[in-house]
Amino acid sequence: MTKKHLIIDAIVAINPNAQVTVLNNNYEEIIWKNTPVISKEVINEKIIQLDENYISEKQAKIDAKASALAKLSALGLTEEEAQAIIK
């Protein structure tokens, strides 16, 4: 359930108007074009935040589905019937 965001994902999350090229997902190969340079530390922090948000969102969807299945089961539906409704 993990996702490793790329450097470019973090840069765009920090500055949506950034004009930048990132080669090989490498900090040493970032070409900044009329855009203020963002430090490696700030980019790393944003990657961690994006990854944590991704994991939280995925878990929230899993939890919501489990909750819906439990509620449908409480109404007397079989697991197969509940799954058919959820999908």
Per-residue model confidence as pLDDT tens digits over 7-33: 999 999 999 999 999 999 999 999 999
Q: pTM for the full model?
A: 0.74
Confidence check: pLDDT of 53 > 70: yes
Tokens at residue 44, please? 């790393």
Spatial CB neighbours of 43, under 8 Å, sequence gap ≥ 6? 7, 10, 11, 14, 27
CA–CA dist 64, 47 (Å, integer):
26
Listed by start position, the domains of the chain span 7-86
Tokens at residue 10, please? 């973090």
Per-residue pLDDT band at 61 (split at 50, 70, 90): very high
